[in-house]
Amino acid sequence: MQLLEPSAQKIYEREERGELAIGGLHTKAAARALAAMHVNSSMGVVCAAPTGGAAGVIPGVITTLVEEKDLDKIQTVRALFAAGAVGLVLATRGTFAAEVAGCQVEIGAAGAMSSAAVVEAAGGSVRQALDAAAISFQNTMGSPCDLVQGMVEIPCHTRNAVAASSAFVCADLILGGYVNPVPLDETIDAVMEVGRMLPRELRCTALGGLATTPSALALKRLR
């Protein structure tokens, strides 16, 4: 990596030893998402899910479901199918390009897709999966793409981790009884409207947000 030292393994191991404040599935998913992004930024092979900048979220969530909830192959495929279905709605009604609509359609989209996957894995209904995706989008709406020094590392890595973690929260809210009043398709339309309102400085140009803070500008490349 260019700006960050790897941290995923340390976080995962400390969670295993019970040294963190809370830990659990959320933290394990976050650490796994970080690990995938470490590979991505180190020029390793990843799956754009749905993009390279969001490549950690879905793998982090699905791997955690498989490892911690003992999903079999069919259940895993169904969870991935649910995630893909949400992605298809966004692809049809909007875009995955941060250059067009900010980080909300990359990492935000991956978080929404993962929320649907968690609901599917838990045995929820199609409506519940779509509602979990909708509230995930609603809570990332307006997020800029402000990558530091033009590298997909800061804040991209921790955003992947947090999106993976929050997928479980969004799923639990819906499965627990929260009634979502704005459906997924309308939410995505709103996401796209907000994205188009973002100035160019906040759409993958590294000209605004965290990218222009003194600390970000002063960071030295590690390699």
pLDDT tens for 48-57 read 999 999 999 9
Collapse the DSSP code of 203 into the 3-class scheme (helix H, G, I; strand E, B; otherwise coil) and give the result: strand
Q: Does residue 1 form part of some domain?
A: no
Q: Is the dihedral of CA 23, 26, 29, 32 positive or negative?
A: negative
Q: What does the block give as tokens for 117?
A: 């996957």
Q: What does the block give as tokens for 172?
A: 């639990």
Task: Report whether pLDDT(42) > 90.
Answer: yes
pLDDT tens for 61-88 read 999 999 999 999 999 999 999 999 999 9
Are the C-beta atoms of 68 and 28 separated by less than 8 Å? yes
Burial 176-215 (b: 16+ CB within 10 A, else e): eeeebeeebeebbeebbeebeebeeebbbbbebbebeeee
pLDDT bucket at 111, cuts 50 / 70 / 90:
very high
Task: Report whether pLDDT(38) > 90.
Answer: yes
Bridge partners of 203, per DSSP, are: 145
pLDDT of residue 8: 98
Q: What is the mean pLDDT of residues 91-101?
A: 96
pLDDT tens for 176-216 read 999 999 999 999 999 999 999 999 999 999 999 999 999 99
pLDDT of residue 90: 96
Q: Does residue 223 form part of some domain?
A: no
Look up the pTM and report it: 0.96
Q: Does residue 149 form part of some domain?
A: yes
Rounded distance, CA 133 to CA 188, Å? 10
pLDDT tens for 136-168 read 999 999 999 999 999 999 999 999 999 999 999
Are the C-beta atoms of 137 and 184 separated by less than 8 Å? yes
Q: Does residue 22 form part of some domain?
A: yes
Tokens 């509602």 belong to which residue? 131
pLDDT of residue 63: 97
Are the C-beta atoms of 111 and 164 separated by less than 8 Å? yes
What is the domain count for the chain?
1
pLDDT of residue 76: 98
Q: Residue 180's closest CA among 142, 109, 129?
A: 129
pLDDT tens for 115-140 read 999 999 999 999 999 999 999 999 99
Taking the CB of residue 7, how many other CB atoms lie within 10 A of it?
15
Report the half-sphere exposure of 181 (CA within 13 A, side-chain side): 0
Range of the domain at 115: 8-218
Q: Does residue 125 form part of some domain?
A: yes
Task: Report whether pLDDT(223) > 90.
Answer: no
